[in-house]
Amino acid sequence: MTFKLPDLPYAYDALQPYMSAETLEFHHDKHHNAYVTTGNKLLEGSELAGKSLEEIVKGSYGKNQPLFNNAGQHYNHLHFWNWMKPNGGGAAPAAIAKKIEEDIGSFDKFKEDFIQAGATQFGSGWAWLAVKNGKLEIMKTPNGESPLVHGATPILGVDVWEHSYYIDYRNRRPDYLKAFIENLVNWEYVEKLYGEAV
């Protein structure tokens, strides 16, 4: 398969004031586009050409680091744009809320632990809510890694690379994470991924 940069599912200014048009323009048009362009070059002629994106991510992990970095970040960002929406956040859908309560303790504990995972990921990386062995788990990964390469399926993720928040929040990563979880999360998309994962 060839990597393609998708259009954002909303206007550049649709997530303000929590994420600015400037951030989205840089993050989507420059950073994500670079993963797509570089990823396609690295994929050409490799034994993973023609595989699905998930197979490329898993197949290059630990074997072809440059390809993995770009394919992993492409995979992460394809979901990241859909994990956000204007007027997002709020309560999780009933089935997920119930599962969060069962596996994590409470919705408030989930929010706290998710923000904590993102805030304490040293350097670049991601914080996740993932399904592993039928249970919901909060995880964090460095760089372009995702739960996909750790035997889990991500259903919600937040990018904590500096380019995803520095224009708007400077060094206040916890404030960005709080804004993300309270005002941007597209729970319908999380619900869709959860349904597919189980």
The answer to whether 159 is a known ligand-binding residue is: yes
Distance (Å, whole) CA 68 – CA 99: 31
The answer to whether 79 is a known ligand-binding residue is: no
Residues in the chain: 198
Q: Are 155 and 131 in contact (CB under 8 A)?
A: yes
3-state per-residue secondary structure call for the chain = CCCCCCCCCCCCCCCCCCCCHHHHHHHHHHHHHHHHHHHHHHHCCCCCCCCCHHHHHHHHCCCCHHHHHHHHHHHHHHHHHHCECCCCCCCCCHHHHHHHHHHHCCHHHHHHHHHHHHHHCCCCEEEEEEEECCEEEEEEEECCCCHHHHCCEEEEEEECCHHHCHHHHCCCHHHHHHHHHHHHECHHHHHHHHHHHC
The answer to whether 163 is a known ligand-binding residue is: yes
The answer to whether 28 is a known ligand-binding residue is: no
Residue whose C-alpha is closest to residue 105's, from 130, 136, 151: 136
Q: Binding site for Mn(2+): which residues? A: 27, 77, 159, 163
Binding-site residue set: 27, 77, 159, 163
